Amino acid sequence: MATRYTDDDDSPVPEPETEPSPAELAHARRFAEVVDKTLLGRIPPAMSADDRALLEVATVIRATHGSVELAPGTRRSIVEDALRQAVGAAPPSYSVVVPIERSRSRRWAPWLVAGTSSAVAAAAIAMLWLRPLAPAAQSARRVELPEDQRSRPADALIGPIARDHAGDASARIDTIFADRLDGFRARRMARGGKP
Amino acid sequence: MKHVIVLGLGLGGLFAAIVISGVVLGGAAGCSSERDAAPAPTTRTAEPTDAIDQDLMIALGQAKNFHHKAKVYMTDGNLTAATAAVRQILSLGFPKGAPEADDVRNDARALLAKLLIGQGQLDEASRTVDEGIAQSQRASFFVANLHTVQGEIHEARAAALDTAGDPTKAAAARDERKQAIEAYDRSIQINEGLQKTLMEER
């Protein structure tokens, strides 16, 4: 079997009488589906560059056979522009022709709006979810105090009470009060004089 | 058609996001306005629950005053008034969970029991001490002191039985002296345990 090559492609070109291979048949079936979808207005969002080029060719061929009709508004606009041009009026307007880039951006716009709004909604819900946890986290934080500023047993301060001094509670309360007053003042100083 | 549906969903989501954001920001603004309305709009850390606070100092100050008042009455020999002054210490309100409360009340009970012993009210003195021991949340030198006073009460009872001169009450007197020794032993045991603990902590 002779094999020929095109000028800009190294792919082998089969002879006209050669039977199509299974891969070629599969590719043809897939491309047929793409063309059908395109005719129904459901253009696949992604396809290979070769398929896209072939699809454009197929669309042009179909249009030249008169199978495609312009929308009434577009057709009227073109006719009016042509007439206006014929009588030397204002130049034709091509406002109905949508640039390719703008068309692409229009295709992505709904998704962009939907994505952005979803992200904002998710962030707002996250704020609602996390907000009640903030005070709990604060309360979980424990401030360590120096021992002299803490309320605590007076055993270390008083020591064992001898039997002879079992009734000297007055002297002991004086000692306890003086010690705790020192701690209370130190605590107030640490808080900048606030009670 | 598909784009219209997606655009509708997107706009719906955007509306929901705006509503939720409004609720969140509104809540935050509400909190801010509440804080603004407070008289002292300062940021302060939460005071630890075990800090020495004003309530504790007030209670200690009142206990101190009642003790001094009782001391003056005792100097004058007015044991009844001194007892009444010491009793008021037992009804003082201390901050919840303050360890000083137990210590001050137990010390007041010890003094109260000694005053009652001096007035011959041994049963009342014994009840005062027993209540203090029963209500104590932990072992302390003040609890040990209560056991010491309890021993003194038993000694006082034994002495009273001996003074009666009734031979049938000799056994009861011996029993009181035995209970006095047991009370002193408990006091010694508590003191030793606490001293050991304090030495280890240092």
Report how far residue B141's alpha carbon sits from residue B198's, in angstroms, rounded to the nearest whole number: 11
Q: Locate A124 and state its tokens.
A: 């707002």
Q: Does B61 touch chain A (CB under 8 A)?
A: yes
Q: Does B174 touch chain A (CB under 8 A)?
A: no
* pLDDT higher than threshold 90 for residue B70: yes
Contacts of A143 in chain B (CB under 8 A): 45-48
In this complex, how many residue pairs, one in chain A and one in chain B, have their CB atoms less than 8 Å apart? Answer: 170
ipTM over 0.85: no
Give the model's pLDDT for residue A81: 83
Report how far residue A55's alpha carbon sits from residue A39's, in angstroms, rounded to the nearest whole number: 10
Cα–Cα distances (Å) from B172 to B125, B127, B158, B169, in that order, read: 19, 19, 7, 5
Report how far residue A170's alpha carbon sits from residue A8's, in angstroms, rounded to the nearest whole number: 112
Structure confidence by residue, pLDDT tens digits, B13-32: 656 656 665 555 555 444 44
Give the model's pLDDT for residue A93: 54
Residue showing tokens 């006719």 = A79
Q: Locate B90 and state its tokens.
A: 């037992």
Average pLDDT of B24-43? 48
Is pLDDT larger for residue B202 or for residue A57? A57
Report how far residue A123's alpha carbon sits from residue A126's, in angstroms, rounded to the nearest whole number: 5
Give B10 to chain A, closest Cα distance, Å.
3
Contacts of A128 in chain B (CB under 8 A): 20, 23-24
- What SS3 state is found at A87? coil
Q: Which of B52, B94, B117, B141 to mutate to test the interface with A (most CBs of A within 10 A)?
A: B52
Cα–Cα distances (Å) from B60 to A125, A145, A185, B100, in that order, read: 51, 21, 15, 8
What is the DSSP-derived secondary structure letter of residue A162? P
Do A176 and B100 make contact, defined as CB atoms within 8 angstroms? yes
pTM comes to: 0.55
The distance between the two most distant Cα atoms of chain A, rounded to a whole number of Å, is: 131
Do B110 and A109 make contact, defined as CB atoms within 8 angstroms? no
List phi, psi (to 5°) of A4: -115, 155
- Name the residue among B139, B137, B136, B56 with its Cα closest to residue B96: B56
> Could you list the pLDDT tens digit for every one of the 195 residues in chain A?
444 444 555 667 777 777 788 888 888 888 888 888 887 877 777 778 888 888 888 888 877 776 666 778 877 888 888 888 887 766 555 555 555 666 666 777 778 888 888 888 888 888 877 765 555 445 445 567 888 999 999 999 999 999 999 889 999 999 999 999 999 999 888 888 766
- Name the residue among A4, A22, A1, A2 with its Cα closest to residue A13: A4
Torsion on CA atoms B127, B133, B136, B137, rounded to nearest 10: -140
* CA A112 to mean position of chain CA atoms: 9
Give the model's pLDDT for residue A96: 54
Cα–Cα distances (Å) from A64 to A35, A57, A58, A98, in that order, read: 16, 11, 10, 21
Q: Are the beta carbons of A166 and B152 closer than 8 angstroms?
A: yes
Q: Which of A37, A111, A116, A117 to mutate to test the interface with B (most CBs of B within 10 A)?
A: A117
Contacts of A167 in chain B (CB under 8 A): 110-111, 114-115
Q: Which helix (H) or strand (E) holds A5?
A: strand A4-5
Q: Are the beta carbons of B110 and B142 closer than 8 angstroms?
A: yes
Highest mean pLDDT among A132-146, B39-53, B125-139: B125-139
Give the model's pLDDT for residue B63: 97
Q: Which helix (H) or strand (E) holds A179?
A: helix A169-190
